[in-house]
Amino acid sequence: MTTVRVLLADDEHLIRGALAALLALEDDLVVVAEAATGREALAMARAHRPDVAVLDLEMPGADGVNVATSLRTELPGCRTMIVTSHGRPGHLKRALAAGVRAFVPKTVSARQLAGIIRTVHAGNRYVDPELAADAISAGDSPLTTREAEVLELAADGAPVAEIAERASLSQGTVRNYLSAAASKLGAENRHAAVRLARERGWV
């Protein structure tokens, strides 16, 4: 029997500890390192060279996908998987693009998670069916790169002038992009557009 060396990264101590305890019950899995932040996860991975890195999506510092991206080049032998509470379609896409092998919501049981870790270690992929369906039904973003960029900058309610400055664009251009984005999304104004795009993971 091969044993799988696992790295666990989650900023919530409660969950990380609990998870470690549960995975320890599976006798082919061994948690070799734990981390509470993105940076810590990277350091731990370098030090312990795990077979599989189980990364929380939302962590202080670098988020799970960023960590996965770094790991991909630094430790190509280490498979990465993402667990998350909030399954936005966009995150899934981002994760897959970063070479993540599994994307799992926290609604699965520990037993299932253990199974998925084995699946990933065996070189296969796993994507939660629910999340996959969402991602497919959400479809591809109709927004161009710049439209998405500008929309992103509009997210915190900043006035056009500020967006223009931060994007190094003229105010008129910003208004055009915002207008285009809103109409593509069928939104009444940019703020509603931001909400919609967020929901569908397009920003």
Partner DNA sequence: TCGTGCCCATGACGTTTGTCATGAGCAGTG
Partner DNA sequence: CACTGCTCATGACAAACGTCATGGGCACGA
- Region for residue 155 given its phi and psi (left: phi exceeds 0; alpha: psi -120 to 50; beta: otherwise): alpha
Which residue(s) pair with 7 in the sheet?
Answer: 33, 53
Residue 129 touching DNA (CB under 7 A): no
Q: DSSP string of 20-59?
A: HHHHHTSTTEEEEEEESSHHHHHHHHHHH--SEEEEESS-
The rounded distance, in Å, linking the Cα atoms of 131 and 178 is: 29
175 contact choice in a second copy, DNA, none (CB below 5 to 8 Å, kind-dependent): DNA
**DSSP β-ladder status, 102-105 and 52-56:** unpaired
Q: Which of 76, 145, 156, 186 binds DNA (CB under 7 A)?
A: 145
Residue 21 touching a second copy (CB under 8 A): yes
8 contact choice in DNA, a second copy, none (CB below 5 to 8 Å, kind-dependent): none
Q: Inter-axis angle of helices 13-24 and 110-121, to 10 degrees?
A: 70
Residue 108 touching a second copy (CB under 8 A): yes
173 contact choice in DNA, a second copy, none (CB below 5 to 8 Å, kind-dependent): DNA
Nearer to DNA, 66 or 179 (CB): 179
Residue 159 touching a second copy (CB under 8 A): yes
Which residues here bind DNA, judged by CB under 7 A? 144-147, 159-161, 168-170, 172-173, 175-176, 178-179, 182-183, 189-191
